[in-house]
Structure 1
Amino acid sequence: MDVKSLLSEAGLEPATLDAVSTIDGLFLNWRRRASRRELGQAALATLDIPLDLPQLDVLFAIAGPLGEPDGGDGETMVGTVADRLSIDPSRASRMVSEMVEKGYARRAVSQADARRTIIELTAGGKAVVEAVRAYKFLIMGDFLSQWPKEDVANFVPLLLRFSQWLDHVGTATDSRAGEVAALAEAVKAATKDSEPA
């Protein structure tokens, strides 16, 4: 199956095909580098923070994401940490307990519901999160400061717009039902031919 021919027959312009191919290659490389957590490793080493990356992730999960609503009253519970890290609550509980034992987090009583236990960062935990975040922003800011201002001004809205492409999967699958069915049939035919006798 020739992917470019199939996409061309589906009506996608050559420039779009080239863009999709280039973006896919960039994402593969980006994912490999992100999985190695190069920036996080560099931050921990350079800032001399005695934590590993999963422990750092817990602190960031307790702190909550910058610029995103947490969807609640601003209080973080073990379940919130589990959701933010996409791990099961029992593992989140163990990891939070480890951060409490190390002095980076503490348990407190919810102001909204006294029956609820919340997790907060200690001064040390906040210092780690703020330092790592600042380190990342310094590196990214240094890189972007070398771009012309108009490129940065154009890039951010385009990146925000592009970040929604995965939300389009269901719609695209429906509007391209014929092409998707042909792909599924091609896979079935190829795998049937390669089954052991």
Structure 2
Amino acid sequence: MPTRQDTLRDLLTKSGKDAGLADALIRIDNVVQNWRRQMHKRELGHRATRALGLDMDMAQIDVLFAIAHPMFAPDTNADDETMVSTVAERLHIDPSRASRLVAEMVNSGYARRAVSQRDARRTILELTPAGEAVIDAVRGYKWLLLGEFFSGWSPEDVATFVPLLERYSSWMNSSEVAEEKFADEIDELAKSIDRARQEVSSGSKSG
């Protein structure tokens, strides 16, 4: 009986991809899925808070990073002002939840509310020195561990890996074009789900 990997390999080869690429994609997907599970559990973040003695949960730290976002995003206007709605947008959370988390950080002394220099009617958010210290410490923890890991790589490996990782991270940008190209194949995949549902339905009725 063919395995799921065999089925995926057949699907890719039928779409014109050679077997070697199919096997490589399966390996990449396995790595990414494992990475995704680790990111979902926030393992590194939890380790950082324990090591740094921070009595904060990851949602609170995320809010501090969201407030500090302009200083850590070179492609973002450094003059952008951060409001509660900005935090909600950057973290992809409900505005009411963002408001509650921001209030926690303000009450804890990690953030403060200020008056916008552009519009005196608008309230903006800033990090206090304590909030900036948390951001710097968490990022410093991460860089120390990353630096130690990559120090075992040759300069040539690092120089090869970084642009390839950047290139890989952009693959979703072209996914819509690929989706149009394989519209028939994707439609057949959708139909396979319907067929399986019908089989389950028929089996439950006969049982």
Q: Which residue matches 1:181?
A: 187
Asked if structure 1 preserves the Cα contact closer than 8 Å seen for 2:9 and 2:23, the reply is no
Which residue of the partner structure matches residue 125 of structure 2? Answer: 119
The answer on whether the counterparts of 2:65 and 2:135 sit within 8 Å (CA) in structure 1 is yes
Stretch of structure 1 that moved more, 187-196 or 15-24: 187-196
2:15 aligned to which of 5, 10, 13: 10
1:46 maps to which of 35, 46, 51: 51
Match 2:28 to one of 23, 26, 51: 23
User: Is the helix fraction higher in 1 or 2?
Assistant: 2
Instruction: Give the Å deviation of 1:127.
Output: 0.2
User: Which segments of 5 or more consecutive residues in structure 2 lack a partner in the other structure?
Assistant: none
> 1 CA distance for matches of 2:108 and 2:190?
51
- Alignment counterpart, residue 104 of structure 1, candidates 92, 106, 110: 110
The correspondence of residues 48-87 of structure 1 with structure 2, limited to 5 A, is 48-64=53-69, 66-70=72-76, 73-87=79-93
CA distance in 2, matches of 1:167, 1:68: 20
Deviation of 1:68 after TM superposition, in Å, equals 4.1
48-57 vs 95-104, greater mean Cα deviation: 48-57
- Alpha-carbon deviations, 1:102-127, whole Å to 9, x = none? 00000001111111110000000000
Q: CA deviation at 1:101?
A: 0.3
- CA–CA distance in structure 2, aligned partners of residues 119 and 145 of structure 1: 37
What TM-score, normalized by structure 2, do the two folds share? 0.90
SS of the residue aligned with 2:138? Answer: helix
Identify which of 92, 98, 101 aligns with 1:92.
98
> In the aligned structure 1, how far is the partner of 2:80 from the partner of 2:143?
24
Match of 1:36 in 2: 41
Figure out how many residues of one structure are paired with residues of the other and give that number.
197
More deviation, 37-46/59-68: 59-68
Once the two structures are superposed, residues 30-83 of structure 1 have per-residue CA deviations (whole angstroms, 9 ceiling, x without a partner) of: 111111111111111111112111111111111116234335732111011001
Greater relative contact order (Cα < 8 A, sep 6+): 1
Which TM-score applies when normalising by structure 1? Answer: 0.95
Identical aligned residues as a percent: 50
